[in-house]
Amino acid sequence: MRAAWKLSKYLKPYKHFAILAPILMVLEVVMDLIQPTIIQKIIDEGIAANDTPHIIAMFAAMMACAIIGWLGGAGCSYFSSKAAVNFASDVREDLYETITYFSNTNKDRFTLGKLITNLTNDIEMLQRALNMLLKIFVRGPLMFVGAVIVVFITARELFSVLFFVVPVLIICLYLFIKLSISLFRKVQEAIDQINIRVQENLAGIRVIKAFNCMRHQVEQFAGINQALTMRNMTAEQVIAALMPITQFVVNAGIVLALALGGIKVEAGVMEVGVIVAFINYLMMIMNGLMSSSNVLIQIARAIPSAERVVVVLEELPEITNADQPVKKEIRGDVKFENVSFSYNKHVEPVLKNISFEAKAGSTVGIIGMTGSGKSTLMKLLARLMDVDEGTIYIDGIPIRQYDLETLRGAMAFAPQKAALFSTTIEENLKYGKMDATKEEIREALAASDAYEFVEKLDKKEQHVLTQGATNLSGGQKQRLAMSRALIRKPKILVLDDTTSAVDSITEKMIQSNMKKALKGSTKFIVASKISSIKDADLILVLEDGRLVAQGTHEELLKTSVHYQEIMASQAEKGGVLNE
Ligand SMILES: Nc1ncnc2c1ncn2[C@@H]1O[C@H](COP(=O)(O)OP(=O)(O)OP(=O)(O)O)[C@@H](O)[C@H]1O
């Protein structure tokens, strides 16, 4: 319920639609309630008395009621849909924005499959529930109460039949609602499983194929799918069983009314038309109760969705701006002072007490065993996460004091895994600089040695990449990711192992282009090969989260055992240094 309350603010801009819809529904219900009484009058006062003008007048009144009712119903549908669709669209937009601003730590708390379910299924469920709530929540109870009152006023002789029909119907529907809610909860859980599995399998389809696990995956999916099918079937069967049961109760009520009414008509205390009107109202009572129960089920189904959406919306961003953020232009001096960081506060930190200084315009190479903390170090510099201890300074100011847009605007990051989008190459590069000209795009492509292969693609820079850029090789993807970073001409550039799939001659060429293009920028190059960083002004050697040595290539060769060991192991593997 708290979740529903939280989401209610999204309905505020559309409150006039949300108020108009039920009001129009009241109009429709009132018109529906009047009609059986008019039929009764046609029978008892028109047909029985052979009064044709009265029949025509009553028939015209009935037509008018039907038209007004129809207008009310159509208006209600129009406004309720408008409110529900706009409400859902706003929630979806906010949810997407929240997810987009997630820090790495925020993101790690949710699975991708779940977030996709939140943005699609859950929002859809909320939209449907709201639409139904605005349309039918008024209709059901109003029709039920209205019909009971009208029966009491106009067909009191048969009112006692309701003492049997109404309680039995209410008990049936109560049991039905209880059962449905638990069944639909299970259906939703099964849908979650399907979404998570589909998302994971499709993302890893190449690995699945490479390991020849297709059959296994298909079988696993079949199992989950079967579970969803069974749960859906059970839920559908319960719904299907309801109709005949309620219909039977109503039919029993009709038989009772006919028997009781027959006796009273014969005794001359009641007219035939009252029985006909009563049967109509009995149907309305049943419909009113059934539609109320349907709305309750829909709301119950939407509550878990609302809770899940609110959990994401309420996820506090880990990385926020300072109260008075610094918006000063960045020069590029970087200093780490006793920096420690851990992803999980219960285990040993992945970075321990790191201190170093890099002057603006210098090149810093970072090397170390896999898992030694190189990427983490760079993510801290871009404030993708915040340090636990120590301080990172840029131009002498702690990075936490910078305006996030200023900080990240001065940086460009080419991550280890080139994340390219399924759009044109040009658009992909524009993520680096939104207003990049064609000339700048070509320059950036040339600087990372991507121009040549892009020129060979059909449509060149307008070539559309597939999802995950599967239509490119690993090296091509890395080169495009580097172009995207270079085009920004950042004050601080981070290349996180971006040349692992590029041959060493091309790598050298890219580095020399980069030096020319980004003379004044501070460049961080994370690498697994010493040859990639040996010309750097400063090399950081990481081991198990500690900075075990720092200096130039020549200095480290003389002073650092760790560096000598890396050097020796790479020389053994094929003279990497001399490439
Ligand atoms: N999102 C994360 N959540 C928890 N632990 C993480 C996360 N990312 C990295 N780690 C852990 O932090 C440590 C350092 O990882 P990091 O990616 O920084 O190392 P790396 O030196 O860049 O490795 P590689 O050369 O393989 O890319 C590793 O032990 C890794 O398991």
Q: Domain 2-313 class? A: mainly alpha
CA of 283 to the centre of ligand 1 (A): 66
Mean residue pLDDT across the chain: 86
CA of 376 to the centre of ligand 1 (A): 6
Residue-wise pLDDT for 125-181, tens only, equals 899 999 988 888 788 888 888 889 988 888 888 888 888 888 998 888 888 888 877
Instruction: Report CA-CA distances (Å) from 395 to 90, 335, 364, 491, 518.
Output: 40, 8, 16, 11, 18
pLDDT reported for residue 63: 92
CA of 91 to the centre of ligand 1 (A): 34
Q: What percent of the chain has pLDDT over 70?
A: 98
CA of 374 to the centre of ligand 1 (A): 8
- What is the Cα 72 distance to its own chain's centre? 35
pLDDT reported for residue 425: 87
Yes or no: say if 396 and 331 are a contact pair by the CB < 8 Å rule. Answer: no
Q: Where in the chain is the domain with CATH 1.20.1560.10?
A: 2-313
pLDDT reported for residue 517: 77
Residue-wise pLDDT for 70-119, tens only, equals 999 999 999 999 999 999 999 999 999 888 888 777 777 777 777 888 88
The DSSP call for residue 373 is S
pLDDT reported for residue 577: 43
* Residue of 374, 385, 499, 540 to test ligand 1 pocket, by largest number of atoms within 8 Å of CB: 374
Q: How many CB atoms lie under 10 A from the CB of residue 554?
A: 9
Residue 417, both tokens: 């895994």
368 Cα nearest atom in ligand 1 = 21
Range name among 25-29, 393-397, 445-449 with the lowest pLDDT average: 445-449
Sheet holding 546-551, edge to edge: 397-398, 389-394, 334-341, 351-358, 546-551, 538-543, 363-368, 522-526, 492-496, 411-414
Please say if the pLDDT value at position 427 is more than 60: yes
- What is the Cα 148 distance to its own chain's centre? 45
Degrees to nearest 5, angle at CA 255 with 250 and 257: 90
Residue-wise pLDDT for 508-531, tens only, equals 878 788 877 788 899 999 988 888
Atom 9 of ligand 1, residue of closest alpha carbon: 376
Q: Rounded mean pLDDT of 15-19?
A: 91
Atom 7 of ligand 1, residue of closest alpha carbon: 343
Q: Rounded mean pLDDT of 455-482?
A: 82
Binding pocket residue ranges, ligand 1, CB within 6 Å:
104, 108, 343, 350, 368, 370-376, 416
Residue-wise pLDDT for 481-514, tens only, equals 888 988 888 899 998 888 776 677 777 878 788 8
- Phi, psi of 528, rounded to the nearest 5 degrees: -100, -15
Rounded to two decimals, the ipTM of the complex is 0.96
pLDDT reported for residue 576: 46
Atom 29 of ligand 1, residue of closest alpha carbon: 371
Yes or no: say if 364 and 358 are a contact pair by the CB < 8 Å rule. Answer: yes
Decide the pairing of beta strands 334-341 and 351-358: antiparallel
Task: Quote the CA–CA distance of 5 and 69 in Å, as a whole number.
Answer: 32
pLDDT reported for residue 359: 92
* Residue of 376, 500, 529 to test ligand 1 pocket, by largest number of atoms within 8 Å of CB: 376
Q: Where in the chain is the domain with CATH 3.40.50.300?
A: 334-578
Give residue 578's pLDDT band: very low, low, confident or very high (50, 70, 90): very low
pLDDT reported for residue 573: 59
pLDDT reported for residue 340: 94
Residue-wise pLDDT for 276-319, tens only, equals 888 888 888 888 888 888 888 788 778 888 888 998 898 887 77
> Residue holding tokens 């650092």?
560
CA of 53 to the centre of ligand 1 (A): 89
- The Cβ-side half-sphere exposure at 76, using a 13 Å CA radius, reads 24
Please say if the pLDDT value at position 320 is more than 70: yes
372 Cα nearest atom in ligand 1 = 21
Could you tell me the fold of the domain covering 334-578?
Answer: Rossmann fold (3.40.50)
Residue 210, both tokens: 């490479």
Name the nearest CA neighbour of 334 among 272, 258, 410: 410
Which residue has better confidence, 369 or 319? 369
CA of 496 to the centre of ligand 1 (A): 12
Residue-wise pLDDT for 191-238, tens only, equals 878 888 887 788 778 788 888 888 888 888 899 899 989 888 887 787
Amino acid identity, position 325 = P
pLDDT reported for residue 574: 55
CA of 371 to the centre of ligand 1 (A): 5
Please say if the pLDDT value at position 355 is more than 90: yes
pLDDT reported for residue 398: 94
Query: Which residues, in sequence order, are CB contacts of 336 under 8 Å at separation 6+?
Result: 354, 355, 356, 357, 377, 390, 392, 393
Task: Quote the CA–CA distance of 311 and 309 in Å, as a whole number.
Answer: 5
Q: Rounded mean pLDDT of 348-373?
A: 91
* Residue of 350, 526, 546 to test ligand 1 pocket, by largest number of atoms within 8 Å of CB: 350
Atom 12 of ligand 1, residue of closest alpha carbon: 350
Please say if the pLDDT value at position 338 is more than 90: yes
Residues 424-430: contacts with CB within 8 Å, 24+ apart? Answer: 424/459, 424/461, 424/462, 424/463, 424/464, 424/465, 425/454, 425/457, 425/460, 425/461, 425/462, 425/463, 425/465, 425/480, 426/461, 426/462, 428/465, 428/480, 428/484, 429/461, 429/480, 429/483, 429/484, 429/487
Q: How many CB atoms lie under 10 A from the CB of residue 66?
A: 14
CA of 373 to the centre of ligand 1 (A): 6
pTM above 0.80, yes or no: no
